[in-house]
């Protein structure tokens, strides 16, 4: 088991596109501590998903290094779980079966699976839907299955790729509050990708801002707000000020 | 309701035209027998029809099962390994465009007239349909499910068993329906070419004796049977693929367990 730290150094990724190559990431360096919630923001196409896929072990870097708990990433591992942008809950499994999936892979006993799922369902607010299929649920609920399924394996690191990007604003803010609540119950390291600055501020301890073409780290910004964070934070003047600064920065990053 | 009536009406019109033409003696019964002729055939030869259907169905079901299972099995094998695919894909591509009916003379030349070549013809037709659609279905499994399983620690064989297999079921059931429908045509055609029993054989005999009424009854028998088989498969489909979008309204959140008031309220809030 690893300790949940992530060390990204001189990370570069290029894709061959016909005869030309696209540099999706160039010399990215970020150190992430155990239990830290880091948001990665940037306009679309600046390499956010590419970065996360490399961290997850679903893709390999062209050069540079990623250390998870001090060890290089060789592929997907039980220490890192991923929540994808689009629905990834298996539609042929019920909510409970989805939540159990990773535990079954790990060969945990039925009793233990039952215990973990029994704890997760109320945390996710899905007790009533334990035996429903994903298609029967709303978008926000389906997203919670994804989060719960990732959480069930108790990963040291949770990787989230714009998980709320497809939700409407109200549901999205609701899900942000829910995620903070779930996360406060077990603080894993989180790398949270978003292009929504409000979301990044609301959730994270630090914001890594990427600039596009090629994807580089433009700025790393500390988020000064205390936890637990409440929905009222969104209305505060400090929040608004930070948001304005970051937006300006992001505008410059695009240019 | 209105549409229902219109549909019923069009059927009724056809039936009336048929009765009028034949009962009025406008058309020769050799070309188009009337309802009373059809009823007479059913009355006098339903035993023969049933035993003929029995023969035909046995061969058809055997061919359909063997061909479909072979096709699905080989398709899964091809989709699971690049090596197997490299070896088998050109062979499948080679036989795929062959119209199954075109191999009948070859089958008779090799195997004579009898159950074996008939079953083989159905096997061939079903095999080609299923192998192609299985490979296609595996290719179409959304990448995100495969990646999700990988990040949850699942390895190749487990992903195949727990993600690929269930994900392709809806597509496969669709193809099984196509194969089942095709197999009826194939088995009857096989009997046209050479058989000593079966519905297709009875049709050829009827044609020889200019018994249009018997031919029509045979067509009806095989059609009704094909329709019934399709209904059975559709039932099965609903069982197997209850989780797909088609069968449950998306976002139609309804608690499966005993709902509390609070739970329902939460669900309503979620939905809005
Ligand atoms: N598999 C791939 N093949 C070729 N180019 C890719 C591939 N994946 C991503 N890219 C390119 O890399 C860049 C970054 O993509 P991505 O990481 O998806 O950005 P983001 O998630 O920030 O929107 C884009 O220009 C995209 O076209
Ligand atoms: Mg992306």
User: Does residue B68 fall inside a structural domain?
Assistant: yes
Q: How close, in Å, is residue A25 to chain B by CA atoms?
A: 21
Report whether pLDDT(B271) > 70.
no
How sure is the predictor about B266, in pLDDT bands with cuts at 50, 70 and 90? very low
Average pLDDT value over all residues in chain B: 86
Question: Which range has the worst mean pLDDT, B97-111, B191-205, B229-243, B251-265?
Answer: B251-265
Structural tokens at position A121: 């369902």
Q: Would residue B26 count as lying in a domain?
A: no
Ligand nearest to the CA of A44: 1
Does residue B168 sit within a domain? yes
Q: Tokens representing A238? A: 């400090």
- Residue A15 phi/psi, 5-degree rounding, is -110, 140
Q: Which two tokens stand for residue A212?
A: 């596009």
For residues A47, A53, A57, A59, the Cα torsion angle rounded to the nearest 10 degrees is -70
Nearest to A135 among B152, B163, B248 (CB): B248
Q: Which of A28, A39, A50, A217 to mutate to test the pocket of ligand 1 (most atoms within 8 A of CB)?
A: A50
Q: What is the ipTM of this complex?
A: 0.89
| Sign of the C-alpha dihedral computed for residues A138, A139, A141 and A146 taken in this order | positive
Q: What is the pLDDT of residue A255?
A: 56
- Which residues from chain A sit within 8 angstroms of residue B154, using beta carbons? 101, 105
> Which residues of chain B make contact with A127, given a CB cutoff of 8 A?
257, 263
Where does the pLDDT of residue B245 fall: very low under 50, low under 70, confident under 90, or very high at 90 and above?
low
pLDDT given at position B21: 86
pTM of the shown model: 0.82
Give domain status of residue B12, yes or no.
no
Residue B95 is assigned to a structural domain of this protein: yes
Beta strands in chain A (DSSP E): 6-17, 20-32, 37-41, 63-68, 71-72, 80-83, 157-161, 189-194, 206-211, 216-222
Mean pLDDT of B207-231: 92
Pairwise CA distance, residues A115 & A113, whole Å? 5
Percent of chain B with pLDDT over 70: 90
How many whole angstroms separate alpha carbon B214 and alpha carbon B37? 9
Q: What is the DSSP string of B74-139?
A: HHHHHHH-HHHHHHHHHHHHHHTTS-GGGGHHHHHHHH-SSHHHHHHHHHHHHHHHHHHHHHHHHH
Residue B243 lies in a domain: no
* Option in A105, A131, A140 nearest B152 (CB): A105
Q: Which residues contact A95 (CB under 8 A, 6 or more apart)?
A: A89, A121, A126, A129, A130, A131, A132, A133, A134, A137, A145
pLDDT band at B255 (very low <50, low <70, confident <90, very high): very low
Indicate whether B175 belongs to any domain: yes
pLDDT at B269: 44
CATH number of A6-79+156-253: 3.40.50.300
Domain containing residue B168: CATH number: 1.10.3720.10
Q: Is the pLDDT of residue B253 over 70?
A: no
Is the pLDDT at B7 greater than 50, yes or no?
Answer: yes
Distance between Cα B159 and ligand 1 center (Å): 25
Count of structural domains, chain B: 1
Greater confidence (B257 vs A143) lies with: A143
From the CA of A165, which ligand is nearest?
2
Q: Which residue has the higher pLDDT, B119 or B249?
A: B119
Chains A and B form CB pairs within 8 A to the count of 111
Give the H/E segment covering residue B182. Answer: helix B165-193
Residue B136, Cα to own-chain centre: how many angstroms? 18
Would the pLDDT of B111 be above 80? yes
Q: What is the pLDDT of residue B239?
A: 84
Minimal Cβ distance to A76: which of B153, B251, B260: B153
Q: Pick the residue from chain B with its C-alpha nearest to A158.
A: B151
State the pLDDT at residue B24: 81
* 3 state DSSP class of A93: coil
The per-residue pLDDT for A253 is: 62
Question: Which residues of chain A fall short of a pLDDT of 70?
Answer: 1-2, 253-255
**Do residues A7 and A31 touch, judged by C-beta distance below 8 A?**
yes
Where do the structural domains in chain A lie, given as residue ranges?
6-79+156-253, 89-154
Do B159 and B148 meet the contact criterion of CB atoms below 8 Å apart? no
Tens of pLDDT along A42-90? 988 899 999 999 999 999 999 999 999 889 998 998 889 999 989 999 9
pLDDT at B272 over 90: no
Its domain, for residue B144, covers 31-237
Query: Is B220 a member of any domain?
Result: yes
């Amino acid at each position: 088991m690893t300790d949940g730290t992530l060390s990204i150094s001189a990370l570069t990724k290029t894709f061959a596109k016909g005869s030309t190559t696209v540099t999706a990431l160039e010399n990215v360096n970020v150190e992430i501590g155990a239990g830290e919630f880091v948001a990665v923001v940037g306009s679309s196409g600046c390499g956010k998903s590419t970065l996360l896929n490399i961290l997850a072990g679903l893709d390999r870097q062209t050069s540079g290094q990623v250390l998870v708990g001090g060890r290089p990433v060789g592929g997907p591992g039980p220490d890192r779980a991923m929540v994808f942008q689009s629905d990834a809950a298996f539609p042929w499994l019920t909510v409970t079966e989805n939540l159990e999936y990773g535990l079954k892979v790990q060969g945990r006993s039925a009793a233990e699976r039952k215990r973990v799922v029994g704890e997760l369902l109320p945390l996710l607010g899905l007790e009533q839907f334990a035996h429903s299929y994903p298609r029967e649920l709303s978008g926000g609920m389906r997203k919670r299955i994804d989060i719960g399924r990732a959480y069930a394996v108790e990963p040291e690191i949770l990787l989230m790729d714009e998980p709320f990007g497809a939700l409407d604003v109200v549901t999205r803010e609701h899900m942000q509050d829910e995620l903070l609540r779930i996360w406060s119950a077990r603080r894993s390291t989180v790398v949270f990708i978003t292009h929504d600055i409000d979301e990044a501020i609301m959730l994270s301890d630090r914001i890594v801002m990427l600039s596009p073409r090629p994807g580089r780290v433009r700025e790393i910004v500390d988020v000064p707000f205390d936890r637990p964070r409440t929905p009222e934070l969104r209305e505060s003047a400090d929040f608004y000020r930070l948001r304005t600064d970051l937006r300006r920065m992001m505008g410059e990053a695009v240019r | 309701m209105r549409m229902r009536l219109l549909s019923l009406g069009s059927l009724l019109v056809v039936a009336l035209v048929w009765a009028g033409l034949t009962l009025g003696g406008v058309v020769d019964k050799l070309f188009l027998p009337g309802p009373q002729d059809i009823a007479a055939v059913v009355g006098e030869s339903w035993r023969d029809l049933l035993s003929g259907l029995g023969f035909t169905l046995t061969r058809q079901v055997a061919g359909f099962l063997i061909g479909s299972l072979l096709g699905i099995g080989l398709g899964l094998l091809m989709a699971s390994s690049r090596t197997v695919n490299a070896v088998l894909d050109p062979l499948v591509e080679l036989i795929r465009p062959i119209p199954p009916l075109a191999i009948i003379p070859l089958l008779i030349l090799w195997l004579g007239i009898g159950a074996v070549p008939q079953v083989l013809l159905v096997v061939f037709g079903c095999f080609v349909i299923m192998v192609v659609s299985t490979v296609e279905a595996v290719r179409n499994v959304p990448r995100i499910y495969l990646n999700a399983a990988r990040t949850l620690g699942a390895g190749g064989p487990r992903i195949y068993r727990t993600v690929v297999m269930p994900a392709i079921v809806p597509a496969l059931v669709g193809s099984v329906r196509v194969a089942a429908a095709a197999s009826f045509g194939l088995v009857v055609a096989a009997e046209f070419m050479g058989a000593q029993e079966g519905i297709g054989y009875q049709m050829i005999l009827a044609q020889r004796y200019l018994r249009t009424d018997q031919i029509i009854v045979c067509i009806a028998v095989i059609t009704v049977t094909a329709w019934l088989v399709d209904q059975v498969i559709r039932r099965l489909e609903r069982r197997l693929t209850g989780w797909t979008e088609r069968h449950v309204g998306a976002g139609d959140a309804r608690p499966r367990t005993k709902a509390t008031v609070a739970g329902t309220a939460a669900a309503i809030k979620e939905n809005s």
